[in-house]
Amino acid sequence: MVDGEKKNRRGFLQVFLGGGILGYLGMILYPVVRFMIPPELPEAGVSSVLAAKVSEISPNQSKIFKFGRKPGILIRTPEGELKAYEAICTHLDCTVQYRSDMQIIWCACHNGQYDLNGLNIAGPPPRPLTPLEINIKGDDIYVSPTA
Ligand code: FES
């Protein structure tokens, strides 16, 4: 066998094995990468949701309801006014709740506080809650995104 022919065979084998190893790594890593980067899902377009019955919420009470894929919060203030917000804290997305004892909207994760107008008043939340629009039809309270 000639020396040049040996080199050609060795080079071919190196390229063949290198390609096989790369292909094998690709087969393993591709599904892992696809799993770690989830596909973009379109936001569920919620136009209007039945949040509660009027008779269900007394003054100084609240109700958490499903607003598409997010939670919403409906509050009847001590004065009887209805307010609705996306119940997602603007700090790190925890679900907020109404504290009737303090008359604030409160985030238990890091003691974030919002007033009844949804404004961030204490703790780490950087911005107000997202308000929702309320429409009352008979005894039903419908909530929709603000225009
Ligand atoms: S997530 Fe609400 S205060 Fe941090």
Q: Is 90 in the pocket of ligand 1 (CB under 6 A)?
A: no
Dihedral pair phi/psi, residue 38, rounded to 5°: -65, 155
pLDDT number for residue 76? 97
Q: Is 75 in the pocket of ligand 1 (CB under 6 A)?
A: no
Q: Is 123 in the pocket of ligand 1 (CB under 6 A)?
A: yes
- What's the burial of 17, exposed, middle or buried (CB within 10 Å: 0-12/13-18/19+)? exposed
Name the CA dihedral angle for 101, 107, 113, 118, rounded to a multiple of 10 degrees.
-100
Ligand 1 mutation target, pool 90, 109, 127, 129, most atoms within 8 A of CB:
109
Q: What's CA 11's distance to the chain center, in Å? A: 53
Residues of the chain with pLDDT under 50: none
Give the 3-state secondary structure percentages of the chain, helix then strand then coil, rounded to 5. Answer: 25, 35, 40
Atom number, ligand 1, closest to the C-alpha of residue 96: 2
